[in-house]
Amino acid sequence: MRSERRPSPPSRPSTQEWRIRRDLAAAYRLAALFQWDDMIGTHFSARVPTAAGEPDQFLINPYGMLFEEITASSLIKVDVDGNILADTAYPVNRAGFIIHSAVHMARPEIGCVMHLHTDDGVAVSALEEGLLPLNQSAMVVRDRVAVHEYEGIAVEPREQARIVADLGDRDLMFLRNHGTLAAGRTVAETFASMYALEKACTFQVRTLSMNRPWRKPAAGILRKMERKPNDERRAQVLADYACNAVWPAMLRKLERICPDYKE
């Protein structure tokens, strides 16, 4: 489904917007490097800072570009309904933005949403038991993961309320029989969370594929690994790790491999 075009004259992005554009373009390039992409399918979005009283605005990928092609300047600005707000040669997959806009509007603190269809993420999303505590990555994120049942291709606005209700206050989600979703205050936090979830899925798929008995940690250890409600200290530790350690390293990686992402 193509987005309705409602263009406005181009304007020079603010420094803050350009930084978000750079980070979101970096996330797309990293997804391609980690083989998380699905041709031109799936989407990452980021909230654009606006002045008080101005309508919400978001950045999303041009529909038709490969993740490995996306740059900061090629990202398209849209409103909450997926309508394009500036001239571009590409459309936006408005149906794909239904999932993203639901999360963004229900959770104002969310600055970025990532959605993937990876082989291992989709495989685990289809399991009745979901993510099992078979590895450290799974135990770190397992209590942060919500589940939304499959309702067909996400084109119905009415599904938005159910997505939001199922996500609750969590930041990771399995879309049953569909894929994975991560949400965070920044692109860096969202990327780090998605990496942990996808890694946990890959470990699970490989463990179960060996067709050998597997060991689950003791109940006391599982309780120890659980997130406590409103654990702000843990949340801050994860944010610092993502923003101050992981993300700068990822940007250095892109500078060596494909520095044009930030153009």
CATH value at residue 47: 3.40.225.10
Number of H helices, E strands in the chain: 9, 9
Asked whether residue 260 is assigned to any structural domain, the reply reads: no
Closest of 48, 58, 53 to residue 14, by C-alpha: 48
Q: Contact 77/48 with Cβ under 8 angstroms?
A: yes
Q: Rg of the chain over CA atoms, in angstroms?
A: 18
Identify the pLDDT of residue 97. 84
Cα(37)–Cα(31) distance, rounded to whole angstroms? 6
Asked whether residue 256 is assigned to any structural domain, the reply reads: no
Q: Contact 179/117 with Cβ under 8 angstroms?
A: yes
Identify the pLDDT of residue 93. 86
The burial of 127, by beta-carbon neighbours within 10 Å (0-12 exposed, 13-18 middle, 19 or more buried), is given as middle
Find the domain containing 92 and state its range: 5-237
Cα(156)–Cα(94) distance, rounded to whole angstroms? 11
Asked whether residue 262 is assigned to any structural domain, the reply reads: no
Asked whether residue 249 is assigned to any structural domain, the reply reads: no
**In the chain, how many domains are there?**
1
Identify the pLDDT of residue 178. 95
Asked whether residue 86 is assigned to any structural domain, the reply reads: yes
Asked whether residue 255 is assigned to any structural domain, the reply reads: no
Asked whether residue 165 is assigned to any structural domain, the reply reads: yes
Show pLDDT as tens, one digit a residue, over the chain (263 residues): 444 444 444 456 789 999 999 999 999 999 999 999 999 999 999 999 888 888 999 999 999 999 999 999 999 999 998 999 988 989 998 777 888 899 999 999 999 999 999 999 999 999 999 999 999 999 999 999 999 999 988 767 788 999 999 999 999 999 999 999 999 999 999 999 999 999 999 999 999 999 999 998 998 988 888 766 567 787 888 899 999 999 999 999 999 999 999 99
Asked whether residue 23 is assigned to any structural domain, the reply reads: yes
Closest of 5, 26, 1 to residue 249, by C-alpha: 26
Identify the pLDDT of residue 228. 63
